[in-house]
Structure 1
Amino acid sequence: MKKKIAVIGSGFSGLSAAAYLAKAGNDVQVFEKHDQPGGRARQFSTQQGYIFDMGPSWYWMPDVIESFFADFGYKTADFFELISLNPQFELIFSEEKINVPESIEELKILFEQIEKGAGLQLEKFMQSAKFKYEVGMKDFVNKPCHNWLEFISPKIAKSALKLDLLTNFRTYVGKYFKNEKLRTLMEFPVIFLGASPKNIPALYSLMNYGGYALGTHYPKGGFYQLVLAMKKVAENQGAAFHFNKTVENINTDNGKVRSLTINGETYEFDAVVASSDYHHTETLLNKAYRNYSEEYWQNRTFAPSSLIYYLGINQTIPGLKHHTLFFEHDLDEHIDCIYGEKKWPEKPLFYVCCPSKTDHAVAPKDKENLFLLMPLAIGINDDESVRKKYLAEMISRIERHTGLTNLLSKIEYRKSYCVSDFISDYNAYGGNAYGLANTLSQTAVLKPKIRNKKLKNLFYTGQLTVPGPGVPPSIISGKIVANEIIKFKNEVL
C-alpha cells in the first residue's frame, strides 16, 4: 500500500527528497508557499526582458549533481546545456587582477608566476583536496548523523588524519602558500560556509577541488534550469507539486504527525519531510514536540545573510567577466563585521555575476544582466537607505574596474533583496542566506538532527541540517532523508 508523504518546500533538498521518495513507490505531495519551485533558487523576468536567477549562481561539484540525475536514469544533458566558464572567475585586488583559468594546469602556471614554487604547492594541495573530496563527498557527507558510530569504518578511520578535521583552514592554506593574494584565492570558497577560514576545518579544502579542479559551470538559461530539471525528475517518479500553499500547522497525535493545515484546510499524511527553514518548521509544532529551544538557535553560528541587487543595465560593460570578486579590502575586516561586531562593513567585499556575458537570452541585446551580492551579518537593519548606500559603493568600484562612468544612470531595472526579505520569503532564521556555519562544533552529528526526537514520522532536510549549506549538499540532504524513510518505512510510517 502506498504511503502518503508530504514535503514542505521545493528548494533543492525538497526536490531531491520528493524524487527519491516517489521513486520508492510513495504518494509524494510537495507544498510550496511561492508560485514556483526552487526556494532561494527561484527565477523572475522583467518587462524590459531581463531574466534573473534569485540565488545560487556558482555551479560547482558537477559530479554530485550529475549523480542525482544518474540515480533516475538521466543525465543533466537531457535537460540543459552546461557551459564550462573560462576564466572561471576574476578576482579584483587593490592593485592587481587575477583570472582563474578553466584548466588546473594553467592555474598551476599562474600560481608559479605569482609565487616561486607555488605551482608545485598547488599540485600537492589539490592532491590532498581530491582525497578529501572523494572521501568526504562519498563517505562522510552521506551519513544521516544520528551518532558518531556511523563514522566508525576501516576506510574513514584510515583516512581520519588525512581529512585534517582538527586543523583550521587558514593555518592549512598557510602551510602551502605565503603570497597573500594566493591565500585569499584559496580561502574564498569557504567564506560562504558561514565562518572565518580560522574557524572552518581544513577538511573543506575539498571545495577547492570541487570548484577549481572540476571547474565552474553555467547552465544555459540560468541556474533555474537545474530546479526545473529536478522538478521534472520528481514528477516523472510520480511526485505532485502544489504552489501558493502555505503550511500553517503540523498536527500531531499519539507521538506521530497526523496532518498538516495548509491554507486553512487539513490534509492527512503518513509522514512529513520539512525542507523549509528548520527553526520555522518547529514553530508549527506544539513546543513539547520541538527538537530545539529558542535558546539553542540563539547560540548557533549562522552563515551570512546577503545584500543582493538585481540590475538591468542598458549598455554593455566591457571588461566584466561572468563571475567577478571584488576583494580590494581586507578579508578579515569584512568577516569580523559578519561574525564579530555584526554590523554593516565599512570596507565591503562583494561579488558580481554577469550571466549575459555567457548567455545572451538573460538580457536584451547590447544590455547586461548584473547580480550583485555582499555577505552580511544576520539580523541587522536593512532599510532602503542603507541598501542604496552600498549599491552606490559597489557600482563605483565596478566603474573603477571597467573604466566606465555614470553606471547608476544606466540602470533601467533594479531590485534589492536583503535580510528582511529572506525572513519574509523563506522564514529564514535571522535572515540567513546559507544556513548554519560549517564550524567544527556544528559539523556532522553536531548539526540539528534530521529526525524529530518525539514524532517518529517527522523529518528535516536542507541547509540547516546535514550535510550543510550549498546546492550539492542540499541535494545530498534530500537523498539522506529519503533513504532514512525508505529504510525504516515500517517503523516510522
Structure 2
Amino acid sequence: MRRTITIIGSGFAALSCACYLAQQGHSVTVYEKNETIGGRARQFKASGFTFDMGPSWYWMPDVFENFFKDFNKKTSDYYELIKLNPAYRVYFGVNDFVSIYDNLEEIKKTFETIEKGSAAKLQSFISEAKSNYDIAIKDLVYRPGVSPLELITPKTILKLNQFFGSVSRDIQKKFKNKKLIQILEFPVLFLGAKPSKTPSFYNFMNYADFGLGTWHPKTGMFDVVRAIEKLALELGVTIKTNAPIEKIVIENKTVVGVISNNLFVPSDIVVSGADYQHSETLLEKEHQTYSQEYWKNRVFAPSSLLFFVGFNKKIENISHHALFFDTDFNQHAEAIYDNPKWPEEPLFYANFPSKTDWTAAPDGMESGFFLIPLAPGIEDSEDLREQYFDKIITRFEKLTNQSIRDAIIFKKSFCKNDFVTDYNAYKGNAYGMANTLFQTAFLRPKLKSRKVRNLYFTGQLTVPGPGVPPALISGKLVAELIQKSLKASS
C-alpha cells in the first residue's frame, strides 16, 4: 500500500532512503533546511572557485556501484570517476614525504625502501584486510543493528578475536617504522576514533585504501549528490529546500506528520536523516528514546576546522590529497579524545581538487581545502580560526618549499559553530559517532524509534556508521525496515 513519507534532511543517507522508498511505490518528500541539498556534502562557488564543503575522499567504489545497481543503473550513467595517482602524499618533514600510489605492488615497493622486509608484511596485512572487507561490506554492514546475533556468522566467529584487539596494536606488531605505522593507521581515522580504540576487524579500511584505491568524481564529490538527486527525481521524489522541520507531530504514540515553516504536513511515516540527537529534540520528551545524558556519554568523532581557499597561482610540490604528519599524532589525538582542547601543533589535511578538476578554479589558479580535526564541543571563535590558519600555512610553506600566503584571493572558514548552525550537529561534530567496540552495530542508536510508531532515523549516528558509503547503506537499511514493517501489518 502506498504511504506518504516525509524525509528530514538531504544528506547521502536521506537521499539514499528517499530513492529506495520511492522505488517501493511510496509518495516521498525530502525537506532540507538549507538552500541547497547535500547536507555536509554541499557545494558552494565563490570568486570563480568551486568547493565541496564536506566529504572529499571517494573510497569503496563498489558500495556506490551497488547502490546504483539496485535501481538498474551504473555510476557511469551519472558521473565519471578518475583514479588518483598518487592517491595521496604524507608529509613528515621538509623534503620528507611518502607518496602512496594507485596499486599495491607500487605501495609495497615504497614500504620496502623505508623498512626492509615490510613489503611481505604489507601483503599479508592487506590480504587479511581484504578478507575482513569482504565479510563487512558484502554482509555485516547491510544488517540493521537490531540484534547482536547479526554479528554471528560462520565467518565472523573465525574473526571473533579481531573485535577485541585494536588496529593500532596489530599494525605495530608487524611494522616498526613510525612513518609506515602512521600511514597504515590513517584510514581508520575516517571511522572517528583513535586507532588504539578501533577494533582490529576495521583494518578493512586499509584494503579500501591500498586495495581499491582513491578516486575522484570528475567535477567533485557533489557530482555524487547531483547523481542521487537526479535518480530520486526520476523515481518521483519531491525535494524541498529552505524547509526546516520545527516539530515531529505525534498522536497516540504514532507519527502523524511534521511542522515545516509553521505549516502542518501530514505523513504516514517520518524518516529523519538529520543529526539523531537533534531529531529527537523535535519530539516531546516523553517520545524521545535517548536522553541528553546518553548523548553526553557517547564517544563522538571529531569536529573540524575547515578552510576553503582560492589561490591566484598554481601550488607546487603537492598532490590532490595531502596529509601533514610532521607533528606528534598522539598529542593531537589526546586533544581530541582525552582532554578536549585546541591542539598546540595540529596534524592537518589539504586537498587541491583543481589538480584533477579544471572546473574547480579559474585557469592558472588553484582551489584548496584545508582541514584540522578538533574535539567536538570546544570553543570556536574567529580569532582561534585565524590563529590556526596561520599555523598550518606557515608549516605548509616550509614543508612544500614555496610561498603561498600572498597568493590567497579568497578564503572562507567553517568550524564547530557552523556545524551546529547549518547541520544541527551535536557539539558541532563533523563525522557523527565513533565506531568504537561499544558503539558498533547493534550498540549504536537504532534505526527505528522504540517509543513512536512509524518514526525512523538514518545517517552517521546510527548503523553502519560514519562515512559516505555507510550513509548510502544506512538509507537502504531504513527503507528495508519500513518495507518489512508494512508487510507485517498488512
Tell me which interval the TM-score lies in, with the shorter structure as reference length: over 0.9
Are the aligned partners of 2:93 and 2:399 in contact in 1 as well (CA < 8 Å)?
Answer: no
Task: Work out the CA distance in 1 between the residues paired with 2:348 and 2:149.
Answer: 41
Are the aligned partners of 1:6 and 1:271 in contact in 2 as well (CA < 8 Å)?
Answer: yes
Q: Classify 1:27/1:366 alpha carbon distance in 2 versus 1 (closer, same or farther; 3 Å).
A: same
State the shift of 1:248 in Å: 0.3
Question: Is 1:147 aligned with 2:144?
Answer: no
Task: Work out the CA distance in 1 between the residues paired with 2:367 and 2:266.
Answer: 44
Find the counterpart in structure 2 of residue 33 from structure 1.
33
State the shift of 1:157 in Å: 3.0
State the shift of 1:302 in Å: 0.2
Find the counterpart in structure 2 of residue 201 from structure 1.
199
Task: Work out the CA distance in 1 between the residues paired with 2:316 and 2:152.
Answer: 54
Task: Work out the CA distance in 2 between the residues paired with 1:114 and 1:9.
Answer: 46
**Cα distance per residue 1:401-454 (max 9 Å; x no partner):** 22222x222211110000000000000000000000111011111101111001
* Aligned counterpart for 2:185 among listed residues 187, 192, 204: 187
5 Å-filtered alignment, 1:297-316, equals 297-316=295-314
Question: Is 1:459 aligned with 2:456?
Answer: yes
Find the counterpart in structure 2 of residue 111 from structure 1.
111
5 Å-filtered alignment, 1:58-457, equals 58-94=57-93, 96-161=96-161, 164-405=162-403, 407-457=404-454
TM-score, normalised to structure 2's length? 0.98
Task: Work out the CA distance in 2 between the residues paired with 1:362 and 1:220.
Answer: 10
Find the counterpart in structure 1 of residue 23 from structure 2.
23
**Cα distance per residue 1:29-85 (max 9 Å; x no partner):** 111111221100000011x21000000000000001111011111111111110000
TM-score, normalised to structure 1's length? 0.97
**What 5-or-longer segments of structure 1 have no aligned partner?**
none
Letter in 2 for 1:58: W
**Cα distance per residue 1:446-490 (max 9 Å; x no partner):** 101111001120001000000000000011000000111011214
Task: Work out the CA distance in 2 between the residues paired with 1:383 and 1:152.
Answer: 47
Letter in 1 for 2:77: D
Task: Work out the CA distance in 2 between the residues paired with 1:380 and 1:65.
Answer: 34
Are the aligned partners of 2:140 and 2:150 in contact in 1 as well (CA < 8 Å)?
Answer: no
State the shift of 1:158 in Å: 4.2
Task: Work out the CA distance in 2 between the residues paired with 1:89 and 1:51.
Answer: 21
State the shift of 1:491 in Å: 4.5
Letter in 2 for 1:368: E
Q: Which runs of 4+ in 1 moved over 2 A?
A: 149-161, 490-493
Are the aligned partners of 1:192 and 1:304 in contact in 2 as well (CA < 8 Å)?
Answer: no
Letter in 2 for 1:50: F
Letter in 2 for 1:391: F
188-197 or 121-130, which moves further after superposition? 188-197
Task: Work out the CA distance in 2 between the residues paired with 1:122 and 1:81.
Answer: 31
Are the aligned partners of 1:308 and 1:373 in contact in 2 as well (CA < 8 Å)?
Answer: yes
Task: Work out the CA distance in 2 between the residues paired with 1:138 and 1:8.
Answer: 28
Are the aligned partners of 1:308 and 1:371 in contact in 2 as well (CA < 8 Å)?
Answer: yes
Find the counterpart in structure 2 of residue 50 from structure 1.
49
State the shift of 1:209 in Å: 0.5
RMSD of aligned Cα (Å):
1.1
Task: Work out the CA distance in 2 between the residues paired with 1:107 and 1:384.
Answer: 41
> Quick one: percent identity of the two aligned structures?
47
Find the counterpart in structure 1 of residue 9 from structure 2.
9
Letter in 1 for 2:440: T
Letter in 2 for 1:460: F
Letter in 2 for 1:49: G
Are the aligned partners of 1:351 and 1:374 in contact in 2 as well (CA < 8 Å)?
Answer: yes
Letter in 1 for 2:394: S
Letter in 2 for 1:454: K
Aligned residue for 2:341, secondary structure, equals coil
**What 5-or-longer segments of structure 2 have no aligned partner?**
none
Are the aligned partners of 2:159 and 2:201 in contact in 1 as well (CA < 8 Å)?
Answer: no
Aligned residue for 2:406, secondary structure, equals helix
